[in-house]
Structure 1
């Protein structure tokens, strides 16, 4: 039976090792892929050792702009008996990623799903934060405006305190500094806040402190244009 392979990609440069050898061997024969961005996917697949010439691969796009009605057609290679690879732009497919809809449809049609091991910035940040790893939630993006962002931060802090639930969230990189400033100003002094930037890259930086400690730092990290995960734990 053909299978949908969920193929992780590096969090940084395409030539960074990403898959374990035995998992890489499972995907080098695949010729049909659903990708978030074709240019970067070609670079990733080249370094993964896919045997078909890169320009001869069948790449179909699935991103936030893909109409829901168009997703089912992406499974056609599976219906024709060929394995299909799902490739995220960075990290693990279907986690904070539009590929989740494709996986759900593949299950509905009875196809086998084969997730492969790879880096997830969400899990790496949680591992490194010192926050509760037994109960956690990923909230995605917070509101872009100051008032909405501030309200969301207080709501997340309240939930974390009441349920002992770690809260993870992200921001568009150019607004990272504003988010950090609001968190430091508005959260309770005892709340833990971890910022994990550039995970797996040479510039990786992970800082986890109580808000009271963040407030006494002589200098805050510069987060602008850097991929970052924020981890909040108030219990």
Structure 2
């Protein structure tokens, strides 16, 4: 009987620990994107808003450097490159469920150089008359067992001229999805239950003298 209890109980305990851990936490991912669209051969330097927290950065396209700079509008990112590029900063966070899903934790990453629904930016390029389309903003996504959300945080876009200029603010929508946690809970539960049944059935098929 001890072995039967072990075969049936161990998978259930492991599954319970996994579900308990998953249901006790939620994850939130912050993404800050800066997109530059311009002539492929145009060399440029842009000062863009800086995130309020440290984030990992990746780039697409010909980005030459990303260096923090102090300005009259606060700290900013000095980004240099050629042609169209994307710079993306990311931050992954895990919160206890005691922090509500709709709390300020979703928007705890803010941007510098914002003022009156605009964002300050600075431009210098090899061609004063060249058009640079610049868009930047924060995207937030979060999840917990049975629920997920996505929000387009504050975002700005425009075609800045040389020197200091501003981008106008836009807003993104938020939506929340509720779902049956098949892959996280239900399917593993069926597997665990099946394993327990198979183990018990195997023992039941043993001759009486060979059973534990």
> Is TM-score (shorter-chain normalized) higher than 0.5?
no
More relative contact order, 1 or 2 (CA 8 Å, 6+ apart)? 2
- Structure with the bigger percentage of helix: 1
TM-score, normalised on structure 2? 0.26
TM-score, normalised on structure 1? 0.24
Q: Which structure has the bigger radius of gyration?
A: 2
